[in-house]
Amino acid sequence: MTNEPPTPQPGELLRLPEELAVLAERDAVVRAWVAHHDARTLEQAHTGAPDGMLGGWTLGVKDVIDTADFGTERGSPIYRGRRTDNDAACVAMARRAGAVVIGKTTTTEFALFTPAATTNPHDATRTPGGSSSGSAAAVAAGMVRAAFGTQTVGSVIRPAAYCGVVGFKPTHGLVPLAGVGSLAPSFDTVGWFTRDVADTATVLQALSGIEAGSTAADRAPRIGVYRSHQWGSADPETEIALVEAATRLEAAGFEVTEREPLRHLDGVFEAADTVLHHEVARVFAWERDHHWDLISPLLQRMLGNADRVDAAVLVEARLLLDQATHAHTEYLRAEGLDAIVTPSAPGVAPPIETTGNSVFNRTWTALGVPCVHLPTGSGPLGLPLGIQLTGHRWGDAALLHVASRAERALEASP
């Protein structure tokens, strides 16, 4: 086991030298970075940063997101040495708000499956998750205050779960994707990692102007516990964590109800898989034609399977997703639910040879709803466990308000 990272108080502004010291001390094992600035460059950037909402914050940027001061290699030898002259929109907005970009964090190949070199800060023999491996690990290790990731299936929520930090995937389309390497446009979403919900809400406001909202005045949040169609994939520790979290939230005054399998979500998981494969195969048309030998065998197999997606099946899958998205919105409104609580991952972080399973994330990403992971404690071997809260499309601020109340309730519980 590695030493636990320092835990800042919620909202505490970390001094830049402290985080650099942690980076220097721990990254030889964690390996969260593709590249980062030296202390002198960061001191100059810190001094010249605007006094905005993120003034003085240290920020990591996943290496599929363009930055003017670093290359963007997307975890692939095809793009080794690739540079742009501009920042992605999300990076530009964060800098405008005062954030100081430390460097580029590791990613799996093209934000897909092939593991990066990064290790889990809690145990170097375990995965930090993927594809936003370095961003989650850097925040968990105390190297930065926040870090950008991306999610097309489960690449923010799952690493947050494995590393024990807050991870947030906003509503699809809320944060612009300009300057972000595409994987599957129907699902690609910029998200981020922080150590508490308050910081996550601050980043949301800095990027979108949306201030964390509230549930209806003077009433308890109403949440539904949903084990999902994929419940059979949950490990025993995840089953226990979900039940314990629901019990603790109910004791704190939340209105908690168990939800039966949601029939309007039948087939969503499979339809999303069809659309994902179809879009990935087309997004990487150039790489396939010109650099097939530099694509990993795992991705080569995925691309081969994608070629067999029938056009009629694809249209049927897209229509099913449209209908399910509408039906889910109506369901949440009719039931008066502020959020649904589900597992974030099947269990604790598995061994480092894999990035884990996104089985509990695909449906919610396909629906485009906002999702947030909250750490709740430790499971086997002291590895992090937590829960996923999903909300209404375009209800990002309200979801983070519920998440903030849930975070306080869970921290206050034994």
| Residues that are catalytic | 62, 131, 155
Q: For residues 400 and 8, what is the distance between their CA atoms, to the nearest angstrom?
A: 20
Distance CA 189, CA 369 (A): 11
Residue that has been written with the tokens 């549930």 in this structure: 215
- Of 54, 372, 414, whose CA–CA distance to 206 is shortest? 54
- Pick from 106, 37, 110, 31: which is nearest to 70 by CA? 37
Peptide bond into 131 cis (omega under 30): yes
Residue 239 to residue 228: CA distance in whole angstroms:
12
DSSP letters of 189-250? Answer: EEEEEESSHHHHHHHHHHHH-PPP--SSTT---EEEEE--TTGGG--HHHHHHHHHHHHHHH
Strand order in the sheet with 166-169: 33-36, 100-105, 58-62, 146-151, 189-194, 166-169, 371-378, 384-390, 339-343, 222-226, 255-259
Q: Which residues pair with 167 in a beta bridge?
A: 193, 373
Cβ atoms of 389 and 399 within 8 Å: the answer is yes
Per-residue tokens: 331: 């369901």
